[in-house]
Structures are given as C-alpha cells and as structure tokens.
Copies of this chain bind each other. A is one copy, B any other.
C-alpha cells in the first residue's frame, strides 16, 4: 500500500513539474523558451505523462482516474481516498518544485507579465469569452470521459507493455489537449488543476490575481468525476472491455 501511495504521489508530482514547468517556460520573462507556443506546451504535457508511466508503471496520477479504476475493479475501494490524497499532495508538491526551478524568472516577471497569465501557469481557466460555468462543466466532464476511456482501452490493448502504454497515452493527450482543450484547458484531473491552484495561493508570488476558486472547485473539481463514472460504465458495459 505504501508503495502505491508513494508512486501516486511521486508520479503526479513529476507530471506537474513537467506541465507547470513548460507553462513557466512559455510565459515568464527570462526563460529560454518563452513564447514557444501551445504545441510546445501540449507536447510536454503529453510525453511528460508518458515518462511518468515509463518510470512508475500503471499509476493513476488523477483522482478521477482513481475513481474510475475503483469502479471497474482495478483499484480497491479502500485505496480510493488515500490515492486521492497522495495525488493531491503530489500536485501541490510538483507545482512548488516547478516554481522553485523558475523562481528567478517569476521574480523577473513581477509587474512585467500579465498576472492572469502567471496564474494560468498553475491552473486551467477559460478566457473571458469562453467563461460559462454550465458549459465548462459539461466540457470538462466530456473531455475526462474521452480521456479516461482512451486510457482504459489503451491499457487493455497493451497488457504488460509499459512502453506502449506510455506512448499511447502520450498520443491521446496530444489529441485531447489540442482538439478539445481550447475552452477549458483540459484539466480532466483534480490533482492537475487544484493542486497547482493551491500552490499558486500559498507561494510567495507578487501581484497575484483572483485564483477563481469557484471555477476551480465546480469545474475541474467536480466535472472530472462525472466523466470518470461515464468512462467506467461505457468501457465495461458498452465496449465490453474486461480488466
């Protein structure tokens, strides 16, 4: 059990170091790769997740996925809450680590980079035009449904082949991120959104903007669980995948 919890913590932290790290890279003054664009960032999220799977094997790294795997029987129900806690702590720790790496660039960006852009390094938030809580909720539920269904099917296809699991999930994040992420920024994972959102709240960053907890708790906080339940039911009952 401890081994599993450590793997969930460490893999989630590593995923967030890559993902929040690339948004630091893209956004902050003083970073070498500033302005490298969305394909650069989404590629890092995608294959950063591949790397986590290469290292830690079939981890969840995601409370919604932990729920989904509990429903289909891959994770014991008694492990669900501990997994969620380990993942949330991993999300916070990873965001703090990314902040530490780029701390001098955060300093250089104070009052020079839009505070909303700095907040968005950490958490997912729609643009003003796209801000619509019911629709954003539906999108996050749908994106998570596709994402987790994809992972379950890939896992069923690859068996014990950890490398193909990582590669398949990386390609899945490419497609989901670029194709479905333009409104909400494809959180699909409480540890990915709320973990770094908490980190933004507590880290010593100057000139902070509103952290929008209402959005955070309602949309990336709850919608992924809806998608997770749908993915578990769809994969087992409709697609007939067995685990």
Contacts and interface: CB of A to CB of B under 8 A. Distances in A.
A218 interface: no
A220 interface: no
Interface residues of A, number: 79
A32 B178 contact: no
A101 B139 contact: yes
Contact of A18 (B30, B43, B179): B179
A124 B184 CA distance: 26
A21 B182 contact: yes
A101 to B, nearest CB: 5
B21 A146 contact: no
A48 interface: yes
Contacts of A33: 38, 178, 181-182
Interface string A160-180: 001110111011101110111
Interface string A119-146: 0000000111111100100110010001
A179 B129 contact: no
A55 interface: yes
Given A17-B180, A21-B180, A104-B129, 7 more contacts: A25-B182, A44-B179, A54-B150, A101-B135, A101-B183, A104-B130, A104-B132
26 contacts: A6-B238, A14-B146, A18-B175, A19-B179, A30-B127, A31-B127, A31-B130, A31-B182, A32-B127, A32-B130, A32-B183, A32-B185, A33-B178, A40-B178, A47-B174, A50-B171, A51-B150, A51-B176, A54-B150, A54-B154, A100-B138, A102-B183, A104-B130, A157-B163, A163-B164, A167-B167
